[in-house]
Copies of this chain bind each other. A is one copy, B any other.
Amino acid sequence: MNVGVAGLGLIGGSLALALRTRHHITGFDIDPKTRDAARAAGIEVVGALEALLPADAVIVATPMEAVVPTLAALAPVAGAALLLDVSSVRAPVERFAASAPAGCRLVGLHPMAGRSGSGFGAASAELLEHRPFLIVPTARSDSAAMALAGALARDAGGEVTVCSAAQHDRIVAVLSGLPLAFASALALAGAGTVDGNLGALSGPGFGDSTRLALTPPGLGSTMLLANAQNVREALERARRVLDEVDRAIAAGDAAALSAILERAAQARRSLS
């Protein structure tokens, strides 16, 4: 198939690199340096968003705040091309789809993958291998569009799961948003206690627990705010557990504390 990729950062770049063995890929990025880097990596790059068309599919992989504007620019001229977007918060795309031009077809394709690097320089096909891809229908999805989205996810090396936009946003709030907030709180509490001299003391446990605090602040802030309601509900649930832990410690109640930790260990095992 002819597949366009709009936005060649970590995720878009990785999708272009992963899909090019089976599809004819054309890429576009608003940043000329990123276009040069993608071209140097052998990706066919065009100089304007609309030049990704005509195509069988165009994947929008811009920063989150640019996803809906980019979809809005493509929708009137997309023709038969299926539009897909990797946005990690579905509600804004769902609202856009509800009033999108007639004939426009749109499906969410969200690879649950990441690393602390960003930009095309950090992109690689391996990033997506065996990662879950959430396929999320919109008001402009039909069964052929869903099938095509699933095929592209598998061709990129992913494992397909279909879920609703509401499910998706609840899941992402707890699997991505909440851990970011917690990692940031831990890192700040740690730096407030352990002075520079002792920085080297932090072990692999603390390092793993705080790695997400390295998320670029603009990206993190957008992800939390775009999904505010779900993130706040997840925070509230997690904070209730911290209350329980604090009460058990204050009471010196080893049995209650062990019981919470045992439930948590079971929960962790059920999620991996």
Residues of chain A touching chain B, judged by Cβ–Cβ distance below 8 Å, are 112-115, 131-132, 134, 159, 161, 163, 170-171, 173-176, 178-194, 196, 198-218, 220-222, 224-225, 228, 231-232, 234-235, 237-239, 241-242, 245-246, 249-250, 252, 254, 257-272
Contact = CB atoms under 8 A, between A and B. Distances in A.
B112 A234 contact: no
Copy count, this protein chain: 2
Contacts of A222: 254
A271 B260 CA distance: 29
Contact of A238 (B179, B185, B266): B185
Contacts of A216: 265
A221 B261 CA distance: 8
A232 B235 CA distance: 19
A209 B206 contact: no
B161 A213 contact: no
A114 B205 CA distance: 8
Given A114-B205, A171-B194, A260-B184, A270 B228 contact: no
A129 to B, nearest CB: 12
Contact of A265 (B217, B228, B241, B271): B217
The 5 closest A-B pairs by CB, nearest first: A184-B264, A191-B267, A185-B241, A217-B261, A189-B238
Given A202-B272, A217-B258, A245 B184 contact: yes
A209 B263 contact: no
Contact of A209 (B112, B191, B212, B267): B212
A190 B161 CA distance: 18
A260 B225 CA distance: 13
Given A132-B201, A189-B238, A261-B221, A213 B250 contact: no
A202 B249 contact: no
A182 to B, nearest CB: 5
28 contacts: A161-B201, A171-B198, A175-B190, A176-B203, A178-B189, A182-B185, A182-B209, A184-B245, A185-B239, A186-B238, A187-B271, A188-B238, A188-B241, A188-B263, A188-B264, A189-B234, A189-B237, A191-B267, A192-B237, A192-B267, A193-B234, A193-B237, A199-B271, A221-B258, A224-B249, A228-B250, A232-B246, A235-B245
A211 B213 contact: no
Contacts of A218: 258
Given A254-B222, A261-B215, A170 B193 contact: yes
B265 A213 contact: yes
A171 B193 contact: yes
